[in-house]
Each structure stands twice: as C-alpha cells, then as structure tokens.
Amino acid sequence: MIAEMRTPTLLVAMLLLGVAAAPSQAAVRPPSDRSPLKTEQLSDEQTITRWAHPLFAGIIRSEPSPSARVRGRLRFFTEDRVFEVYVVLASHVDAVGRTWLRVRIPRRPNGTTGWTLAQNLDKLRVVRTKLRIDRGALRATLFRDGKVIWSSRVGIGGRGTPTPAGEFYIRERLRNLTGSAAYGPWAFGTSAYSGLSDWPKGGVIGIHGTNQPQLIPGRPSHGCVRVPNAKISQLARLMPIGTPVRIF
C-alpha cells in the first residue's frame, strides 16, 4: 500500500525533472484513451510515440511553469518549409489546471527538450514504429510494435563529420529532394543536427537514397545516413512522420 501511494509522487517528480519514467514505474497512456490529459507519460519512444504540429508560436520553457526559463518558441515550418513536428513525451497538469506538454525540440544542441502549454499544439497523433541506426554495424532497422519490419545496410558520416548519436525523430518525408539524384527517390529529415551535413539546408541529419550505392556500407557522408534506393523506397512505405530514431 505504501508503494502504491508513493508512485504518483514519483512520477510527477520525474516528469518535472525531464526524466522519462521507466515502464515498470509508470505505464504509457494507451492510444485508445480519450480522457483529459493528466500528469502522465505519453510516449515510450518504442511502441507508442505521440507527436503534434504547432498551432501557435508558443513559448517552450525548461519546466512546466510560466516562470521557468525560456528555451525558445514553437515554429511552424522546417528548414524545407514542411509543417514542423514535435514529439510529445509527457503531460503535466499544474496547480491551477493548466496542461503542459514536454516536447523534443528540433534544434541545437541535440537532445533538447522543454515544456509548452497543450493549447499551443494540434491534436496528438500516435505512431507505433521506431528506427534504430547502429553506426558500428552500419545497419538501420525499423520496428513496428517491437517487431522488425525492415532492415538495410547504410552509409554514415566519416570520422571528421560523424553522424551524431542520440534520441531523435522523423520530421519530414520528401520525394526527390532538390531534384538531385544524390538524395535518391526519398529523403527523411530528422530532428538531429550537425555542424556540416549532406542536407541542403540547415545542417539537418537526413536519411536518404543515393546515386553512389557502391559506397554502402561505409562512412562516406557528412553526417547524413545513406540508404540504397530500393531500400529507401521500401522505407517510405513503412515509416510515418513522428517515428522516433535512435542512433548509437
């Protein structure tokens, strides 16, 4: 009984500290739950991930409080003028009934998160996929509901321009980026950034096709992840916007 009484307090503390609760400590809100948001975990970034488009250029703060430090504002478009996407990790209802959402922020430094009022975001959408990119094995693997549904050898960044490690997500899905064969038939923009990348705008780490398949597997890029064209076309049919991406 004591443990049961302490669990909600532990969850609130972890959400306020920006730490995602482990599944054994707090269950992720089920996709079928349509009740008002509470102080709870909304994404495990494994089999349940929620995301949303911004409705307003609302402030993002370091904690779910109007007096917390400002970390930036929501933006409407990506560097490629596609509607921006924010992965939503958790929700928190404060003492006066305001609902806050903890989001991943697509910006430097990589891995930045913050809190914005729920009213600043559109409806929450759910994806069940996750992409893992293993830099050591030079392989990308897509999971749905924890099961492998796609895999490919890949090319990544070289020693001077490495593909960054971390927890990211898919922000945009673009056909024939810039019209250049260098990006293959499909390209995905992620929330990861580097000082220099193959992406045409803003140093975004992308996942895209290639006109040099002979360099895969390998480390030929400036940070982007290159995939054979046949495989990137398969991925475009399987991987939705909002999919979390783990690079390790």
CA gyration radius, the chain:
19
3-class DSSP assignment, residue 60: strand
Cβ–Cβ < 8 Å for 154, 138: yes
pLDDT score at 201: 75
Residues of the chain with CATH 2.40.440.10: 129-247
Fold for the domain defined by 2-127 = SH3 type barrels. (2.30.30)
Q: How far is CA 100 from the centre of its chain?
A: 19
pLDDT score at 96: 97
pLDDT score at 90: 98
Q: 62 forms bridges with which residues in the sheet?
A: none
Cβ–Cβ < 8 Å for 102, 60: no
pLDDT score at 11: 47
Q: Which CATH architecture best describes the domain 129-247?
A: Beta Barrel (2.40)
Amino acid at 137: A
Average pLDDT per consecutive 10 residues, the chain (248 residues; last block may be shorter): 37 46 66 96 98 98 98 95 97 98 95 97 98 98 98 95 96 91 95 83 90 96 96 98 98
SS (H, E, C) 98-158: CEEEEEECCCCCCCCEEEEEHHHECCCEEECEEEEEECCCCEEEEEECCEEEEEEECEEEC
CA neighbor of 218 nearest in space, from 159, 177, 147: 159
